[in-house]
Structure 1
Amino acid sequence: MNEVKNKSYIECPKCGEQATIKSASSIFFSAGAILWLAGGCLLWIPIIGWIGAPLAFILGTIFLVIGIIAAMIGGAVIQCTHCNSTYNLTKTEYKEFKKNIK
């Protein structure tokens, strides 16, 4: 029987249950993209949107730049939904995890 591997899950170091793993850069890229989309929608709302849209675009750009920096130096975050614990992986530990999955 073939073993199915889910690449976005890892075993929690504390309780041993299945935990999610996210790279630090993907979190910032997602926030940046959402802020850019929100800014585009805010452009169509008079007064409040005209003030909020530039702020959303500026924050979105900042998050995208932080995402690029995090891709170069950042690691990953492990979040366990069973025991509600969070762990940070360094870049070398995250690279080792990705290498073992393939």
Structure 2
Amino acid sequence: MSWTASRVGWQTVINCSAFRLIWTFGDGLKIAALSRNIRKIALSGGVLQNATLADGLFEQLKAQGFDVLVPKTLPANDGGLSLGQAAIAAAR
């Protein structure tokens, strides 16, 4: 692994199992994206309310050269989804 917890500034690998989960998830995203020639990845969804996961994935994917998009104005969870659904309904 070239990406390490210290590179992200985490305390001594907050928790090995959390680090492994984040690394595995990020590696899966990388493999899926590269197999489809995708260089831009949007991180969203309720699971990204977990700051450790969100920050870890962001740093890992950024370090591997991906353009990583994250919500800034709206929440990453159902609140953002609901607004999108309302906008589509209003446009119809």
Regarding TM over 0.5, the answer is no
Bigger helix fraction:
2
TM (norm. structure 2) is: 0.29
The structure showing larger relative contact order (alpha-carbon pairs under 8 Å, at least 6 residues apart) is 1
TM (norm. structure 1) is: 0.27
